[in-house]
């Protein structure tokens, strides 16, 4: 019972932090004329909002969980002593954000012993909050998510991701294979949101050759807890170097995994 209470406190605190971060980010989003943006690489941007929102999230996490480690996209790790690690992306979908496209989200995952234990995504533009705790299910705005989708790959849409950390050949082969199988493909430039959309039944699956931990861990847990299938990974390894991500409904996962393995083979 003590653990249950502690975990629920952790969940509610994390939701509050994401909502605070989302409000800060949305204030920037609504006034793009004041937003300073830098180009880190090909289709790789960072804005003043990314940095300031991450600093806010770090501050709130440190106040709530002072002994935990914090890892984020825009700043160096803040090491703790508890063995629990928070992995944060202040704005997943920065390309959308800086171009005025309302498809971006605040993401926080909690990792312990190589497994993601909790994940929250908050989309301020649509007022949608996805939450999952390991073994306790997933919700969207407090309503339980439970996948019961028997559609085949040619009966729906698969999300795809494109990373500038790998060569272009993989995504070209993936999209070609999906089209040949009769599937529709979708890319919204926010991998975290796309993965969460699998849990919500909006997409049949999602595949990307390389993702960083802050982009995927929380959403992967949400899919798994909603009854979807996630390619097994060690979360600590993902934090260290990232990796391939494939998630899908049970009816589609094996098919999408086979397509992805072929597409991403060099």
The two beta strands, 84-92 and 69-72, are parallel
Confidence of residue 43 (pLDDT cuts 50, 70, 90): very low
What pLDDT digit, counting tens, does each position of 167-182 carry? 889 999 999 999 999 9
More confident residue, 266 or 46: 266
Q: How far apart are CA 107 and CA 115, in angstroms?
A: 17
Confidence of residue 244 (pLDDT cuts 50, 70, 90): very high
What pLDDT digit, counting tens, does each position of 53-75 carry? 999 999 999 999 999 999 987 77
Q: Is the pLDDT of residue 22 over 50?
A: yes
Give the pLDDT of residue 73.
Answer: 76
Give the pLDDT of residue 75.
Answer: 77
**Minimum mean pLDDT range among 5-19, 65-79, 193-207:** 5-19
- pTM for this predicted structure: 0.92
Q: Is the pLDDT of residue 51 over 90?
A: no
Spatial contact of 144 and 116, defined as CB atoms under 8 Å apart: no
What pLDDT digit, counting tens, does each position of 79-134 carry? 999 999 999 999 999 889 988 999 999 999 999 999 999 999 999 999 999 999 99
Give the pLDDT of residue 1.
Answer: 28
Mean pLDDT of the chain: 90
**Burial class (CB within 10 angstroms; exposed 0-12, middle 13-18, buried 19+) of 78:** middle
Average pLDDT of the segment spanning 24-45? 70
More confident residue, 163 or 19: 19
Q: Is the pLDDT of residue 219 over 70?
A: yes
Question: Which are the contacts of 143, defined by CB distance < 8 A and separation ≥ 6?
Answer: none
Give the pLDDT of residue 37.
Answer: 63
- DSSP codes of every residue in 103-163: --EEEEEEEETTEEEEEEEEETTTTEEEEEETTTEEEETTEEE-------GGGSEEEE---
Give the pLDDT of residue 74.
Answer: 72
Copy the structure tokens of residue 232. 């097994």
Give the pLDDT of residue 8.
Answer: 66
Q: Is the pLDDT of residue 235 over 50?
A: yes
Beta strands in 171-260, from DSSP E residues, in sequence order: 184-186, 205-211, 229-230, 243-248
Give the pLDDT of residue 3.
Answer: 36
């Amino acid at each position: 019972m003590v653990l249950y209470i502690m975990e629920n406190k952790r969940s509610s605190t994390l939701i509050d932090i994401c909502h605070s971060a989302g409000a800060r980010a949305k204030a920037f989003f609504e006034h793009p004329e004041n937003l300073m943006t830098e180009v880190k690489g090909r289709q790789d941007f960072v804005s003043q909002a990314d940095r300031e929102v991450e600093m806010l999230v770090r501050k709130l996490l440190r106040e709530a969980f002072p002994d935990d480690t914090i890892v984020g996209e825009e700043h160096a790790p803040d090491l703790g002593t508890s063995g629990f690690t928070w992995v944060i992306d202040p704005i997943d979908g920065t390309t959308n954000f800086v171009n005025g496209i309302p498809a971006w989200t605040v993401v926080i995952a909690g990792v312990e012993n190589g497994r993601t234990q909790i994940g929250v995504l908050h989309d301020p533009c649509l007022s949608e909050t996805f939450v999952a705790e390991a073994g306790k299910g997933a919700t969207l705005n407090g309503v339980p998510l439970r996948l019961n989708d028997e559609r085949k790959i040619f009966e729906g849409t698969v999300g795809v991701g494109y990373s500038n950390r790998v060569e272009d050949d993989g995504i070209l082969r993936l999209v070609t294979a999906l089209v040949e199988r009769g599937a529709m493909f979708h890319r919204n430039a926010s991998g975290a949101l796309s993965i969460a959309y699998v849990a919500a039944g909006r997409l049949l699956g999602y595949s990307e050759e390389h993702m960083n931990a802050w982009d995927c861990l929380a959403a992967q847990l949400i899919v798994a807890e909603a009854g979807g299938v996630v390619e097994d990974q060690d979360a600590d390894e993902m934090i260290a170097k990232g990796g391939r991500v494939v998630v899908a409904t049970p009816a589609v996962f094996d098919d999408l995994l086979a397509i992805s393995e072929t597409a991403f083979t060099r």
